[in-house]
């Protein structure tokens, strides 16, 4: 059995009712960090005290315990565990709660020396913490009222010039620091459109004031760079009555030095209904559940997952069966959060769901009945295997890739769209490993009519377009923010962005050789070895640099994209496998483990990091086999859960405790309507009987498909496909020609049933099976049969009314 993570082990400790901390006195207390060095008069640090209680529960006691110093002449400690130097030497800081106590060692050096304030590591973080350089304030490209700062402090040179050299140095006055405009406006002593941003003597005010008092000096050239953030604790499960958690944030620099930046860091939570956090890093529970605290300092972001638990009246956890490791991870998370999963879906619900998810169609009545009457216990796994081998599977999953990859004549030419679509379909049909599939796309060149994967670059017209599309599609990372400035919610910088763009700097285009018309023009993708990308802010020619990795050396006569592909599909790549399995999960479950599916970032944590990693590891271990990953998810109990919530998981829309109800996508809707009525739709120039899922060109517009969210394939984002319900959809269903024409067609399913001599009961039952994929209930059957019997001379009209009603029913329109 594989080793369990700390989160898994803690989840196993959850009894039917959560064990509460016994009394208010802990078995023992621990201070973190156990040792601290304070260097210089301005140095301060935050300590936290953790109480350990019976049942392996913990509780933050930082703001409950009594703090003292063994030698106040060396170190002073405040009531919340905040320490400050008083003199050189060593002392202990003690925290006590009842009869329990803990001690930590504090060493103080250079207590009489005030180290110079660092502009990059103290002044800019202070301005960011105060909100002065937000996009809504002075961080806009043009600034506010003549005062411009770089967004979130990404350009120290610009900010230094604005503060120290502009407006006749009125913004910073070294001779009378408190009279500096930056301080007068920030504290509200002078009218300020942005309101009061600073409090006298808080850490941000002191950093700015002291820097000004020291002569507004620039940082020396050897100032070390920030390399990492360490947050304590890195994650924690807190059982009732625990209601808060103090964080400690330490910055680590390239020279090996560290500094406590708890008061300069910025904080936010991903779910404010679960927890809130103040400016000092004190997290307070609002309700039970899980929330991630985002800690930002300069360009780095760290995430801390906190779970607040409490007893749930009436909840008794009954271990549900597990089909594979997917269930193990999801059920452990649900157990941790006291969210019991729904029951298993019934056979009819499962059959309809898996048909729609695998082949994009509802089952025919004959297929459904055969499955329902199959007595074999393994029939669900057998059905999954059968569907994965059908040609409709290939068409439906080709559609998903064609949407993302820009299969649209507007970009590729008419002939190019057809050949591009056919190439994508071949990759899906032969189950080409995803790493090979993606490598061929990224490294493609030549005429796009004869080398179809080169069509990928026709929607892309610049290195910037390329880096954003490749990152979003194949890595799940949205890099667009870093084009103009360092990313405001992630660790990516402009250098990261243009380092990635450098891989595509050589990509160029020329016409031909086949040119038929404006919408049928071929382009040849080729490489210009002399083309380079410059970082717009610094003007530096960028060396190819994979995201989050070191620059790579590529010979002048080599294709840089080959090096990028090597890095991207390497099993050790931190992005590719996760992004691929997350997309597959999204298409099957209706929501990504990371959601939105193409927005991986620290501030958007996965519902289960352990499951995402396990799925990625499995994909890599089995040669990037997409069909295997699909089969694995479909066979899990989690996928097969009912969409009907229970009393404890009604509010869960994140952790997959029940199946997600969602509107059928446009092609599923139209193709299923054709199948239910027995009337195909004529689609453009395609052969008779072709389905919407087979349309190769995003420029081919069908009113019904477009109203239900068919994308134009103009963007590299899943969000281009509409998923919301709209008035246009209602009009299509109630009075649109498409659906109405199929209901009244003389040779549709109703006509065939009447021609065959079917009685009213058979007609009603068949229409229910053909649309809602289930037998009618007793009352439904009696009502429908009675309506047909009441109008024998108008039987056809009554049957059409029933069919129209069923096709407007939520059970037909939605996946569930």
Cβ–Cβ < 8 Å for 13, 56: yes
| Measured distance CA(240)–CA(287) in Å, rounded | 10
Domain that holds residue 200: 119-213
Rg of the chain over all Cα atoms, to the nearest angstrom:
31
DSSP structure string for 72-137: TTTEEE-TTSEEEE-SSEEEEEEEEETTEEEEEEEEEE-TT--PPPPIIIIIHHHHHHHTTTSTTT
pLDDT digits 0-9 by tens, 398-417: 999 999 999 999 999 999 99
What are the angstrom distances between the C-alpha of 217 and each of 174, 176, 205, 211, 213?
10, 15, 17, 7, 10
| Measured distance CA(412)–CA(302) in Å, rounded | 41
Asked if residue 450 and residue 541 are part of one domain, the reply reads: yes
**What does the pLDDT read at residue 523?**
93
Asked if residue 46 and residue 137 are part of one domain, the reply reads: no
pLDDT digits 0-9 by tens, 615-630: 999 999 999 999 999 9
Residue 26 C-alpha from the chain's centroid? 38
pLDDT digits 0-9 by tens, 637-663: 999 999 999 999 999 999 999 999 999
Asked if residue 61 and residue 178 are part of one domain, the reply reads: no
Asked if residue 444 and residue 557 are part of one domain, the reply reads: yes
Count of CB atoms situated within 10 Å of the CB of 701: 12
Query: 115, 140, 158 — which closes off a domain?
Result: 115
Query: How many structural domains are present in the chain?
Result: 3
DSSP structure string for 485-501: SS-SSSS--HHHHHHHH
**What does the pLDDT read at residue 12?**
36
Instruction: Tell me if 812 is assigned to some domain.
Output: no
Collapsing DSSP states into helix, strand and coil, what is residue 16? Answer: coil
Asked if residue 106 and residue 183 are part of one domain, the reply reads: no
Asked if residue 460 and residue 548 are part of one domain, the reply reads: yes
Query: 505, 538, 561 — which closes off a domain?
Result: 561
Instruction: Tell me if 181 is assigned to some domain.
Output: yes
**What does the pLDDT read at residue 525?**
95
pLDDT digits 0-9 by tens, 763-775: 999 999 999 999 9
Query: 495, 530, 561 — which closes off a domain?
Result: 561
DSSP 8-state class, residue 324: S
Instruction: Tell me if 551 is assigned to some domain.
Output: yes
Q: Is pLDDT above 80 for 166?
A: no
Instruction: Tell me if 474 is assigned to some domain.
Output: yes
**What does the pLDDT read at residue 168?**
57
Tell me, what CATH number does 86's domain have? 2.60.40.1080
Instruction: Tell me if 807 is assigned to some domain.
Output: no
100-104, 169-173, 760-764, 765-769: the lowest-pLDDT one = 169-173
Residue that has been written with the tokens 């796994």 in this structure: 381
């Amino acid at each position: 059995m594989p080793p369990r993570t700390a989160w898994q082990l803690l989840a196993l400790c959850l009894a039917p009712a959560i064990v509460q901390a016994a009394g208010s006195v802990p078995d023992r207390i621990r201070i973190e960090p156990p040792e601290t060095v304070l260097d210089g008069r301005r140095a301060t640090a935050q300590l936290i005290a953790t109480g350990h209680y019976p049942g392996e529960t913990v509780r933050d006691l930082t703001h409950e315990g009594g703090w003292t110093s063994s030698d106040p002449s060396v170190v002073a400690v405040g009531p919340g565990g905040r320490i400050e130097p008083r003199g050189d030497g060593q002392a202990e800081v003690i925290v006590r709660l009842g009869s329990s106590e803990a001690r930590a060692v504090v060493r103080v050096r250079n207590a009489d020396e005030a180290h110079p304030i660092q502009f990059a590591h103290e002044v800019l973080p202070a301005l960011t913490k105060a909100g002065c350089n937000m996009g809504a304030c002075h961080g806009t490209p043009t600034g506010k009222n003549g005062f411009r700062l770089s967004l979130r402090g990404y350009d120290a040179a610009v900010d230094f010039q604005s503060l120290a050299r502009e407006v006749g140095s009125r913004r910073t006055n070294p001779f009378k620091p408190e009279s500096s405009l930056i301080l007068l406006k920030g504290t509200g002593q002078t009218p300020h459109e942005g309101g009061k941003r600073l409090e006298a003597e808080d850490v941000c005010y002191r950093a700015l004031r002291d820097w000004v008092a020291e002569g507004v000096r620039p940082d020396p050239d050897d100032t070390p760079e920030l390399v990492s953030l360490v947050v304590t604790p890195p994650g924690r499960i807190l059982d009732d009555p625990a209601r808060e958690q103090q964080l400690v944030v330490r910055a680590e620099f390239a020279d090996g030095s560290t500094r406590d930046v708890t008061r300069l860091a910025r904080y936010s939570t991903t779910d404010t209904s679960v927890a809130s956090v103040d400016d000092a890093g004190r997290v307070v529970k609002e309700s039970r559940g899980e929330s991630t605290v985002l800690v930002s300092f300069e360009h780095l972001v760290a995430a801390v997952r906190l779970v607040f638990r409490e007893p749930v009246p009436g909840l008794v956890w009954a271990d549900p069966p597990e089909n594979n490791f997917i269930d193990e991870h999801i059920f452990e998370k649900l157990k941790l959060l006291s969210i019991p999963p729904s029951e298993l879906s019934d056979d009819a619900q499962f059959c309809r769901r898996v048909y729609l998810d695998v082949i994009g169609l509802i089952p025919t009545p004959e297929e459904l009945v055969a499955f329902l009457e199959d007595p074999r216990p393994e029939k669900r796994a057998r059905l999954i295997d059968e569907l994965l081998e059908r040609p409709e599977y290939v068409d439906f999953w080709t559609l998903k890739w064609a949407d993302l990859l820009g299969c649209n004549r507007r970009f590729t030419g008419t002939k190019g769209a057809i050949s591009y679509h056919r190439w994508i379909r071949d990759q899906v049909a032969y189950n080409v490993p995803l790493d090979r599939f993606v490598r061929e796309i990224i490294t493609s060149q030549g005429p796009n009519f004869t080398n179809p994967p080169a069509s990928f670059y026709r929607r892309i017209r610049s290195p910037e377009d390329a880096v954003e599309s490749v990152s979003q599609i194949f890595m799940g990372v949205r890099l667009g923010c870093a084009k103009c400035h360092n990313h405001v919610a992630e660790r990516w910088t402009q250098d990261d962005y243009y380092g990635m763009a450098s891989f595509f700097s050589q990509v160029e285009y020329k016409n031909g050789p086949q040119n038929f018309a404006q919408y049928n023009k071929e382009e040849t993708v080729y490489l210009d070895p002399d083309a380079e990308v410059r970082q717009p802010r610094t003007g530096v020619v960028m060396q190819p640099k994979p995201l989050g990795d070191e620059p790579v050396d590529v010979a002048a006569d080599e294709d840089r994209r080959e090096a990028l592909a090597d890095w991207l599909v390497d099993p050790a790549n931190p992005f590719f496998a996760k992004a691929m399995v997350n997309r597959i999960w999204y298409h099957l479950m209706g929501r990504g483990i990371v959601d939105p599916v193409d927005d991986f970032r620290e501030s958007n944590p996965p519902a289960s990091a352990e499951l995402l990693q396990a799925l990625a590891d499995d994909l890599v271990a089995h040669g990037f086999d997409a069909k295997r990953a699909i089969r694995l998810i479909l066979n899990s109990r989690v996928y097969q859960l009912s969409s009907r919530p229970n009393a404890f998981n009604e509010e869960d829309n994140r952790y997959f405790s029940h199946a997600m109800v969602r509107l059928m996508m446009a092609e599923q809707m139209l193709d299923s309507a054709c199948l239910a009525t027995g009337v195909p739709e004529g689609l453009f120039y395609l052969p008779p009987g072709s389905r919407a899922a087979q349309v190769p060109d995003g420029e081919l517009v069908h009113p019904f498909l477009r109203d239900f969210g068919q994308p134009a394939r103009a963007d590299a984002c899943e969000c281009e496909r509409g998923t919301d319900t709209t008035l246009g959809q209602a009009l299509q269903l109630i009075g649109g020609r498409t659906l109405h024409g199929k209901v009244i067609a003389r040779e549709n399913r109703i006509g065939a049933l009447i021609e065959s001599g079917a009685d009213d009961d058979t007609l009603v039952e068949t229409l229910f099976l053909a649309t809602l994929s289930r037998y009618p209930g007793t009352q439904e059957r009696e009502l429908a049969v009675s309506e047909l019997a009441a109008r024998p001379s108008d039987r056809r009209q009554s049957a059409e009314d029933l069919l129209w009603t069923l096709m407007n029913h939520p059970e037909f329109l939605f996946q569930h």
